[in-house]
Each structure stands twice: as C-alpha cells, then as structure tokens.
Structure 1
Amino acid sequence: MSGISLRRQTSRGGDFDDLAAVIAATRETEGRGFGEALVGWLRRHVFFDHSVVFGYRGAARPPMLFETFSPAESHVFVALYQEGPYLLDPFHHAAVERREGFWRMRELAPDRFYASEYFRSYYSQTRLAEEVGFFVPLAGKQALVLSLMRLKTTGPFGTADARLLRDMAPTVIELCRLRWAELPEMSEMEHPASMAKGMQARANEFDRAHIWESLSLTSREMHVVDMVLQGHSTESIARSLGVAPGTIKVHRRNIHRKLGIKSQAELFARFIQIIEKRQ
C-alpha cells in the first residue's frame, strides 16, 4: 500500500512541477516555451500525436501560434490550411462564434462533413482519427483554438480521455489567456498589403459572403453555397434557414447553373480558385 501511495505522490508532484512550468512560461513574450510546456503537461494526462494553436479574427487568414509538426506535416496542417480551407473548418466557425470550452470535432461538424468535398480534398490529407480542441475567446472578436490530434494509427480519443480533457479545459483556457491576451499583429503574409481596405474590414467579420461577390449569386444563394461547402446536407440547410428542403434544392440547381458546374467537387475547386485570387 505504501508503494502505491508513494508512486501517486511522485506522479502528483511531477504534475505540479509541469503545471508550474506552464504558468512560468505564460510570462514569456517570444519563443516556444509556453507551447512546449503546456503540451508537456497535457501529455502527462492524455496521449496525442500532434498539437497546434491557431488564432482567429473572423474570416481573416489565421496566424499559427504554436505547432508540433515536422516541416512536411506543417505543409498540410498549416500552410495548406491557411490558403483557404480554414474557412470551411468547423473549428474556425466555432471559434469566431465565440464558443468556449473543450469540443470534439464530431460535436461541431455538420451532418455531411465527413462526406464533404472539403473533407475529401483537404481534411483527409491530415490522416487524423480525431481532432479535439480548447476554444478560447479573447478580447474583441478574437479567439484562439488549441487543437490536439490523434492519427489513424493511434485511434480516436477514448471516452475517459475526453472527459479528463473537458475537466482540464477551464485551466487550459485561462493559461492560454495569460499567454495570449490578444493575437499578435498580422504579418504581411497573413494580411497582404495588396488587399483593399474595404476587404480588410470585411475579412475581420464572420461573413464569407464577400468571397462570392464576383459571381452573380443572390445573398441567399451565397449562404447556401457556404453551408454546402462546410458539409451541411440539404435538410440541414433547410432547417437552418427555416425553409423547405425543396427550396434549397432549387437554390442548389440555380447555383450550379450560374457557376457552370455539375458537382460539389467543381464547387470546391471554384472556391479554392477564388480564395487564391483574393490572396
């Protein structure tokens, strides 16, 4: 019995030491110390393969604040994500809607997310079994998300792991707020000088309709396009807009006719083309 007690005391002491290191690192202004300390403390409790922290300012390109990826992995998880797919990410939507706490991707994703073109064309490249996150609203309309990821080779988070992470969420959120009271200023790469001032203002709002302004779509059609790309089914869109599914089907046919496309794959390709022109 004494041996078990000693092991528990040693483990608890190490846990407190790691937490103290995280708190100390919140005072740093540069470097990876805080992220590494926080990830180290979390890994003492729950295993995960990767972690990344993104900051969100509405529809603007999200800065990456911390990552644990190799250069090759970072290309997929960070560089490609920042090029435009982030706009369709359920985590991005939840962050700019100012959700707070611990959330699993499966709790936030639309009903057809895993069958969406976004999932097939981008998200499947990550080879993740599951992604979970701590959502941290900041001052103004800013927010950040600390994502923890498990690869398919590892398998998804278990129920006990998710419950423990949810219990840890208040501490993790306050630690992140101590380190990042607000997001760093946008770099030229994240906020190109070539963007018009009007577009800059709109990019800071949770409104992606401006992405489709160059096309002859009505405001309702823009909304439908946005929800389709996120992974919402016709029924889900209809419930959200308070109309009949048949009305949404008519909108989708009109959208395809106006854009000269026949599939969701072509719609996603057009979305990426527009984002690339905007950057």
Structure 2
Amino acid sequence: MYQVLRPSISSWVPLRGCQYHVRQWGTPAASATPLVLAHGWMDVAASYQFMLDAFSEAFVQQRPIIAFDWRGYGLTEAPATDSYWFPDYLADLDALLDTLYPGQTIDLVGHSMGGNVVMMYAGARPERIRRLVNIEGFGMPATRPSQAPGRMGQWLDELKATRQGDKDLKTYASADGVAARLMKTNPRLSQDKADWLAQHWAQPDAKGQWHILGDAAHKVINPYLYHAEETLATYSRIGCPVLAVEATDDSLGLWWKGKYTLDEYHERLKSVPQVQIARIENAGHMLQHDQPEQLAQMLENFLSS
C-alpha cells in the first residue's frame, strides 16, 4: 500500500448544522497565508494526499495547509436532506474560513466541483482570496429557459427514486473491491494508491460491506438551471490572480460529448481579470492522482510568486 510521507491531523468543526471534518498538514508560522484545498464531487479531502507528499518541505513548513470533506462526503456529517444545493457549499466554505481564519486572506484551491465552488466564492468574496487555483472546475453547459419545466420534473422523479432506494450507492465486499472500482474509473491510478484511497473513500459496516463515503442524495440533479451569464458576472469580480489547471485528456469533452467544449470554457475564462491556463501532460480528470509531482510543482510556483 502507498506509504504516506506527510500524515494529516484530523479535527472536526461545527458548521451550519454539520460536523465538518478537516485535515491539516505542517507546523507553519501563525502569520503565514493559509492554503485551503476543496475536493470534487464524490471525492474526499484525502484525495489530495499524494500532492501533499510531493510538495517541497520548505513549502509545507511555511504555511498552514488544510483540506476538508464537504457536507455529506468523507467524515463530514450528512444533513437531513434528499438533495444538495450548490450555494450551501459556498456558505460552508465561508463559515469554515470565518471559524479557522477570521479576517485573514487565504490561498484557495479547488478540484472539479470544488473548482466551480472556489471560482464562485472568489467572485462573491474577492477580499478573502490572495491567489486561486481552479483544477478542472469547468462549470456546466449553458441552458435555455425552455428547459426549466423538464429539469424540475426530472428533479421530482429523482427524489422519488431516492425514496424508493433506486439511487443508493453500490456496496463492495471488501476494500479490494473499492480499489478495483477506483482503478476502473481511472486507469492511470496505481494499485498502491488505489489501496490507500479505498480506505478513505469507503468504510465497512457491521456486516463487513464497504460503503462509499458519499451521500446518495448527491446524485440527485439540481432543479434549477445553470445560468452561464451569472457565472461570467461572478468571474468578473474575482480580484486575485487565478491559475486554471487542466489535463491533456480533455475530460470536459469526454464527459459532455459536444454539449459543452474546452473552447467554450476558455472563452468564459476571459471574464476573469487575471487568469493563466496551465496543462498537465499524461493526465486525466484526477490530476492529483495521475501527476501529483507536476501539480505540486505548478502550485508551488504559482502560490510562491
């Protein structure tokens, strides 16, 4: 199994009705700029461990570094809900920063869904962010008002399916099964890393069945349409330098199959006042697993400049 070089220390913070699980690394000076890492959809804070191990010792020791599990993921509590709302992630992040780093400017990194959250947060709270890194947080395809009735109907249908247990997450007989699932989803993931991640991505129940640490309600579609023009208006208010990191595999194109393209995403990024785009070779959507050394060096250079 993968041997961790920099173990994290776990703590729990009460936020907006949930006990939030937070991982922290390093022993930095109190005056240093904190680095906050936000994970993606159906992922956990531990997903950043390989990148943390790839950081230089000087970088880790000069600042606080934390990663947290979003509500309903990992070791953070799931609220009593049958669907999740995107604005809650921004509110949770705001409350977390007010609790841990009140009045302090931070560096913020988000992957995938977490990348979408941090971009919107930086536009809503531009004074809180010194530098921002968005890793494959592409946003969603533009929508039309005529799609609204169908979207609302789909949401109602999925809530019904959740009540009937039709959207429950698959369970696994062992951690090996979880690791195999991770490697099937990401063929670049090595066996040792998959074995380690499986221990943090899932847990066994009293009967020995392994359950993914993600609330099935996360799979329910949002009933409200994504408005690209609102996103662009928010992007335009980001006051810090932004590094947009993407993989050479073009996971956006693979996922949306022509409904939304990398060129459209790049066009949206023009609304960000200070942005640079960087690519990591031989990597897919899970950059922090595929090429943690390249990603760590990229972040060090950007955050230290």
State the TM bucket, normalised to the shorter chain.
Answer: under 0.3
Q: Which has the higher helix share?
A: 1
TM, length-normalised to structure 1: 0.27
Mark the structure with the bigger radius of gyration: 1
Q: Which has the higher strand share?
A: 2
